[in-house]
Amino acid sequence: MPIPVTLTVLNTCTEAEFVELLGTVFEDAPWVARAVAGLRPFADADALHAAMMAHVRELPQSQCQDFLALHPELAGREARMGVMGTDSTVEQGSLALAALSVEEAARWEELNQAYRHKFEFPFILCVRRHTRASALHNFAKRLSNDRDTEFAAALEEVGRITRLRLASRIEGHGLANIAGRLTTHVLDTAAGRPAQGVRIQLFEAGGVERLLADMRTGRNGRTEQPLMDGEPLPAGQYELRFHLGDYFRVQGLTTDEPPFLDVVRVAFGIAEPEAHYHIPLTATPWAYSTYRGS
């Protein structure tokens, strides 16, 4: 991928340079960048992205369909053969689709075939907004769409994919609505103060369990960094594990063996990848509460 440049550079470079810099934002379609080069300067990255999407949406339907048809399948032949574009390779990598079991691969293959047979273009999904389970769920659901609905859904996903790609091409892009955030906060309600030094683990769940973060709360009961941020939060199932037993043992409040509360598990789902999920825990050695906060 090209090194990010500022919007000013994009607004002032030659058309050839502009296409060079943004030509791979739309999969196999440098002509999208070329088509909007003449509309420069853009007030901001949002205006640039809107112009690119408008160009695609205004294509005659058959041409638009050809454009969609050039996208690689998810977990498809291109991925297996290693002939996808760099962006797609990185994006699909986030789902570890290459590491599918034989059964899972067969399921994806089956969906890919059914989808291509029904719609005549491949299933397009902004995979950075999904866990593997969520991607699969979405795939099966969209397969039941009628053609018009699905055509619109595919373009919607193209918009999401290219928005994220554009963000990676522009230094200080300022694009809204491209990242979510997951934060937490632990309150010791036995002592009436933030719980400091509580170990918190974040796991992806809902299939293979995968450790995503392992942090400790600071003096204010929060982790120094959000548990996830700077990216869309992949829709899917997660679990937070709060190591409360260790914390209260240090306070001298937990003496039972085993303690009544030890590792508190908060399983939750993310359905809005660009939202802020704040999931605090208020706890004593004998009670806890959690909620979607803000």
To the nearest whole angstrom, how small is the minimum distance from the Cβ of residue 191 to a copy of itself?
7
Please select the residue that binds a copy of itself; options are 54, 99, 191, 211, rule is CB under 8 A: 191
Please identify, using beta-carbon distances, which residue of 116 and 137 lies nearer to a copy of itself: 137
Under rule CB under 8 A, residue 282 binds a copy of itself: yes
Under rule CB under 8 A, residue 208 binds a copy of itself: no
In the range 233-272, which residues lie near a copy of itself by CB under 8 A?
Answer: 235-237, 256-265, 267-272
Under rule CB under 8 A, residue 193 binds a copy of itself: yes
Interface region with a copy of itself, contact rule CB under 8 A, candidates 6-14, 27-35, 149-157, 186-194? 186-194
Judged by CB under 8 A, how many residues of this single chain contact a copy of itself?
Answer: 44
CA distance linking residue 109 with residue 130, whole number of Å: 18
To the nearest whole angstrom, how small is the minimum distance from the Cβ of residue 253 to a copy of itself?
8
Under rule CB under 8 A, residue 221 binds a copy of itself: yes
The kind and range of the H/E element at 240 are: strand 236-243
Nearest Cα residue to 142 out of 111, 168, 167: 111
Assess contact for 287 and 191: CB atoms under 8 A. Answer: no
Please identify, using beta-carbon distances, which residue of 65 and 237 lies nearer to a copy of itself: 237
Under rule CB under 8 A, residue 210 binds a copy of itself: no
CA distance linking residue 129 with residue 88, whole number of Å: 14
Residue 43: how many CB atoms within 10 A of its CB? Answer: 9
Residue 48: how many CB atoms within 10 A of its CB? Answer: 26
Residue 41, preceding peptide bond in cis (omega within 30° of 0): yes
Residue 252: partners with Cβ closer than 8 Å, 6 or more residues away: none
Under rule CB under 8 A, residue 176 binds a copy of itself: no
To the nearest whole angstrom, how small is the minimum distance from the Cβ of residue 250 to a copy of itself?
16
Q: Please give the C-alpha separations between residue 10 and each of 37, 38, 149, 167, in angstroms, as whole numbers.
A: 9, 12, 34, 13
Please identify, using beta-carbon distances, which residue of 28 and 246 lies nearer to a copy of itself: 246
Interface region with a copy of itself, contact rule CB under 8 A, candidates 9-17, 29-37, 142-150, 280-288? 280-288
DSSP-derived 3-state class of residue 256: coil
CA distance linking residue 271 with residue 291, whole number of Å: 15
Under rule CB under 8 A, residue 194 binds a copy of itself: yes
> Which residues would be at the binding site for a copy of itself (CB under 8 A)?
134, 137, 185, 187, 189-194, 206, 220-221, 235-237, 256-265, 267-272, 282, 284-294
